[in-house]
Amino acid sequence: MLISVIVLIYSGRYLFIEIWVNSIENKMNYDNLSDMYGKEASEEMISVVRSEDDAILPSFYMVYGQNNDLRGWLTVPETNIDYPVVQTTNNKVYLNTDFFGNENKNGCLFFDKSNLISKFNSSQCLVIYGHNMKTGQMFHDLIKYQDVEFYKKSPTLTMNTVYEEREYKIFACFSAGAEDENFYNYRKFNFDNPDKFLNFIEEIEEKSYFTTGVDVIQSDSILLLSTCSNEFKGARLVLAARLVRSNEEKKVDTSSALQNKPIN
C-alpha cells in the first residue's frame, strides 16, 4: 500500500513538471513568433513567400516562412490571446501539434477546414478553435467574457488574415453543446439567404451571457472563437464578433451592455 502511494505521488509530481515545462516551452515558442510578426523579412524569405502566394501581406512573411499553413493572426486585448492561426484540410491536425509541427498538448489555434480564406473572398462566418488550457494559454482567457464587466474592458479584437487587416466588434458570448441533448450547431460558414444569417445571429444573441448594443446586419461578416468549457459534457464556450464596417469607428460604446445570464 505504501509503495503504491509513493508511486502515485511521484507520478503526480512528474506529470506536474511535464505540464509546467511544456507550458514554458510553448509560451517561449509563441513569444518568438510574436516577435517575428510584422518584422521585415530577408530578400530570400520574401522571394520564397511571394513565389507561393504573392498576395500575402508583408507583415506575415517572417511567420509564414516558418509554416505555410498560416492563415492569420489573432489578438484579443486584455488577454493572453496573441497567436498565429493556421488551417489544414483536417481539423484534428493541430489539436496536439504546435505551430512548428511538434507534438504539443497546447496545440495551435486553427480555422475550421470548411472556412474559405482567400485574397478575393472569405466565408461570411469564420470559426477558430483553440484549447482551454489551465495554464492560461491558448483560448483559456475566453472564459473571462462570461462577465459583462470584462467585456466592457475589451469589446474589440484584431484578426488579420494573411491577406487583409481586420478589426472586429464583440457582440456575444455563449455556451453551446458539441454533443447529445445540448448540441447546438454554430459551425455555419455561409448562408443561402440573408434571413438565415439574421436568424443565426438572433439565436446567438439569445444564448449570450450579455447584450452589447452592437448591431449585426445581413451584409456583415462574423468571427466565432470556440473553446472547451466545463459547464456540461461536450460544452463549448464561443465568443462572437462582427467585422468593423468601412464607414464606422472601431471604438465601442459599452455603456448599455448588460449581463443576461449568470457566470458559470
Question: How far apart, in whole angstroms, are the C-alpha atoms of residue 163 and residue 59?
Answer: 10
Q: What is the pLDDT of residue 19?
A: 54
Q: Which domain holds residue 101?
A: 68-259
* Grid cell for residue 48: 520564397
Q: What is the pLDDT of residue 3?
A: 52
Give CA separation, 102 vs 81, 105, 237, in Å. 20, 10, 27
List CB contacts of 187: < 8 A, sequence separation 6 or more.
112, 114, 127
In a domain, 44, yes or no: no
Count of beta carbons in the 10 Å neighbourhood of residue 215? 10
Q: What is the pLDDT of residue 20?
A: 56
Alpha helix locations (H) across 167-246? 194-207
In a domain, 6, yes or no: no
Query: Which phi and psi angles does 75 have, rounded to 5°?
Result: -135, 125
In a domain, 27, yes or no: no
Question: How far apart, in whole angstroms, are the C-alpha atoms of residue 112 and residue 225?
Answer: 11
Residues of the chain falling short of pLDDT 70:
1-21, 180-181
Residue in the structure block whose three cell numbers are 464578433: 241
CA angle (19 as vertex; 24, 79 as ends), nearest 5: 55
Q: Which bin fits 251, alpha (ψ -120 to 50), beta or left (φ > 0)?
A: beta
List CB contacts of 150: < 8 A, sequence separation 6 or more.
78, 144
Q: What is the pTM of this model?
A: 0.91
Q: What is the pLDDT of residue 181?
A: 65
Q: What is the pLDDT of residue 9?
A: 43
Question: How far apart, in whole angstroms, are the C-alpha atoms of residue 26 and residue 20?
Answer: 10
In 5-107, DSSP assigns E strands to 70-75, 82-86
Q: What is the pLDDT of residue 25?
A: 87
CB neighbour burial string for 17-54, b if at least 16 within 10 angstroms, e if fewer: eeeeebbeebeebbeebeebbeeebeeeeeeebeeeee
Q: What is the pLDDT of residue 8?
A: 42
Counted domains in the chain:
1
In a domain, 104, yes or no: yes
Q: What is the pLDDT of residue 15?
A: 45
In a domain, 222, yes or no: yes
Task: State the CATH number of the domain containing residue 168.
Answer: 2.40.260.10
In a domain, 8, yes or no: no
In a domain, 179, yes or no: yes
Helix (H, G, I), strand (E, B) or coil at 246: coil
- Burial environment of residue 236 by CB neighbours within 10 A (0 to 12, 13 to 18, 19 or more): buried
Helix (H, G, I), strand (E, B) or coil at 32: helix
Q: What is the pLDDT of residue 120?
A: 87
Specify whether the CB–CB gap between 108 and 97 falls below 8 A.
Answer: yes
Convert the pLDDT of each residue in 214-248 to its tens digit. Answer: 999 999 999 999 999 887 777 899 999 999 999 99
Specify whether the CB–CB gap between 107 and 94 falls below 8 A.
Answer: yes
In a domain, 117, yes or no: yes
Q: What is the pLDDT of residue 231?
A: 78
